[in-house]
Amino acid sequence: MLFTIMEIIRIFNYVVFIYFITLNLWYFILNILALRGLKRYLLHLEVTGPYDKLLMRSAPPVTLLTPAFNESENCIKSVESQLKIQYPNMRILFINDGSTDDTLEKMLNYFDMQPAFLPQIAFLETKAVKKIYRSSKHPDLWLIDKENGKKADALNAGINYCQTPLFCAIDNDSMLEQDSISRVVLPFIEDTRTIVNGGIIRIANGCTFKNGHITKVGLPKNIIAAFQVMEYLRAFYSGRLAWDMLNASLIVSGAFGVFRHSTVVAAGGYRHQTIGEDMELIVRLHKYCSDKKIPYRIRYIPDPVAWTEAPETLKTLAKQRDRWQRGLIDSIRLHIKMLFHPRYKTVGLLAMPFYFIYEMLGPIIEISGYLLFFFLILIGFASTTYIIAFLLVAVILGMALSVFSLILEELSFHRYPRFRHLLKLIGLALIENIGYRQLNSWWRIKGTWSYLRRNQNWY
């Protein structure tokens, strides 16, 4: 019996080791790719940037889809900021997803909205639409009032009434920069194959906003939100840029992404019964285009910015991470056939396995590794010196990766202008690996557990 347990422990040790080595090798490759991608993009901006502005005379019309459920506090502020976006041909479609608070009344009164007619262009299945309104103050602002059906359902309702070739899905609490739409639309003009393009999400906590627009960039005082600044920088600079280079992006954030309407409708729109509707749609679009042999590109570019409020308490952050993990597992489970399938090229052979092994199973391996090491030390089976040395290597590597993302930010858009911002970010890069990272993994394990128990709550 003891022999069997020791054998299992031995095998698990191998798993932890192999996981550790391959994960860091992957991160190294992704960082190099991200650096290349960023350099290429910056050069493109430098030289063809002025011409990109001229291209705006053929800017394709875009509809902003903003689903909202009980957003009474934010809805006016958010729509006002959207109305200030500088883009020649844009319509805003606010979707009230059966709010039980006064979101609808506030919107109707503030923007003086009157019942109006908007033809239904697509016929994706959604909960019933009660009424459509149009603002008499701002003719490009529309509101769809529908029965509650969760975020995916609300977005599908928006897609059904979207009259433009492109639509931009954004969260109600996201604030887009004035030129963000004109930047994010460019890949659609430049390359016919582009079906989706996402921009960067930055943390709004600590920044100053006036009339729905950012006036001063700063870092949050709250440590939990501050950790997320570093986390987002790492995710958007290292991860997404690298996957974009390989045309294997599996996530375009639900908070800010532009989609080709016809392709999304043909692929069936957002899936209702999933929690990570944004990731699931992207994976399905990869599948749809590959199966139909349609040449396509799913892009990410790092300069169109959407600012979003990050959770400031452990409880809300834990909920968010729990939801993300459930979304990830669901998207992978639904498209498990793509895993290691050569038809899906870099998506099937690289991105899906990466997300499956390191993002989905990673937290389980990481936390059980910690527990096992602790247990082995406790029973006197392992050397404390060795284990501590190993854990230190892991932590220092995490720090190095975070600082590398910071370098990418410094090389490109350095949005945090002050020297003390840089110092604070470096400090965060150091300490987030001790405690915060492990906590994150724990929440994600909890997410896995609640997924297995079939918890489908979104809001």
Partner 1 sequence: MINKISTLLQNFVKGGEDPFILWVLLGLLVFFTFSTVILFFIAFYIRSHNLLIEKRREKQHKSWDPYILGVMDGSLTPEKAFQDIRANCSIPYLMYLEKYISVLRGKEKERLQTLGTLSMRRIKKLLNSPFRNMRLFGIHLLALFNQEEAYKSIRIARRDKDLILLAIIEMRMARDPAIKKRLLQYLFGLPFVSPIYISNIAADMGTGITPYLREMILKEDQKPFILIVAAETLKHMHDASCLDLTAYVLGKGGQMPVVLAAWLRYMEMFADETYLPFIKPFTAHAELMVRIAAIRAYIEATPRLSVFFIEHCFNDPSVQIAVNAAEKLHLRTELPYIEIDRIAAFRWGEIYREMVY
**Site for partner 1, rule CB under 8 A:** 9-10, 13-14, 17, 39, 43-44, 47-48, 50-51, 54-55, 57-58, 60, 117, 119-121, 163, 188-193, 295, 376, 381-386, 389-390, 392-393, 396-397, 399-400, 403-404, 406-407, 410-411, 414, 419, 422, 426
Distance from the Cα of residue 228 to its chain's centroid: 13
Cα gap 224→443, rounded to integer Å = 14
Cβ atoms of 189 and 55 closer than 8 Å = yes
Cα gap 59→91, rounded to integer Å = 13
Q: Min. distance of Cβ 323 from partner 1 in angstroms?
A: 32
Q: Min. distance of Cβ 229 from partner 1 in angstroms?
A: 15
| Residues ≥6 apart with Cβ < 8 Å to 202 | 229, 232, 305, 306, 307, 308, 415
For partner 1, the closer CB: 83 or 189: 189
Long-range contacts of 40-48 (CB under 8 A, 24+ apart): 41/241, 41/301, 41/302, 41/303, 42/411, 42/412, 45/303
For partner 1, the closer CB: 193 or 341: 193
Cα gap 176→213, rounded to integer Å = 8
Give me 224's structure tokens. Answer: 């939990």
Q: Min. distance of Cβ 282 from partner 1 in angstroms?
A: 21
For partner 1, the closer CB: 133 or 324: 133
Q: Min. distance of Cβ 127 from partner 1 in angstroms?
A: 20
CA dihedral defined by 259, 261, 264, 270, rounded to 10 degrees?
80
Give me 403's structure tokens. Answer: 């600082």
For partner 1, the closer CB: 5 or 47: 47
For partner 1, the closer CB: 390 or 458: 390
DSSP assignment string, 112-156: TEEE-----------SPEEEEEEESS-TTEEEEEE---HHHHHHH
For partner 1, the closer CB: 1 or 379: 379
For partner 1, the closer CB: 9 or 357: 9
Give me 18's structure tokens. Answer: 């192999």
What radius of gyration do the chain's Cα atoms show? Answer: 23
For partner 1, the closer CB: 60 or 268: 60
Give me 245's structure tokens. Answer: 């280079």
Q: Min. distance of Cβ 392 from partner 1 in angstroms?
A: 6
Give me 436's structure tokens. Answer: 């915060």
Q: Min. distance of Cβ 414 from partner 1 in angstroms?
A: 7
- Looking up tokens 């399938």 gives 341
Q: Min. distance of Cβ 121 from partner 1 in angstroms?
A: 6
Nearest to 189 by CA among 41, 43, 37, 53: 53
Nearest to 294 by CA among 336, 262, 337, 318: 262
Q: Min. distance of Cβ 297 from partner 1 in angstroms?
A: 9
For partner 1, the closer CB: 223 or 388: 388
For partner 1, the closer CB: 120 or 136: 120
Q: Min. distance of Cβ 295 from partner 1 in angstroms?
A: 8
Question: Letter for the amino acid at 302?
Answer: P
Q: Min. distance of Cβ 12 from partner 1 in angstroms?
A: 10
Catalogue the E-assigned strands of 241-367.
Answer: 256-260, 297-308
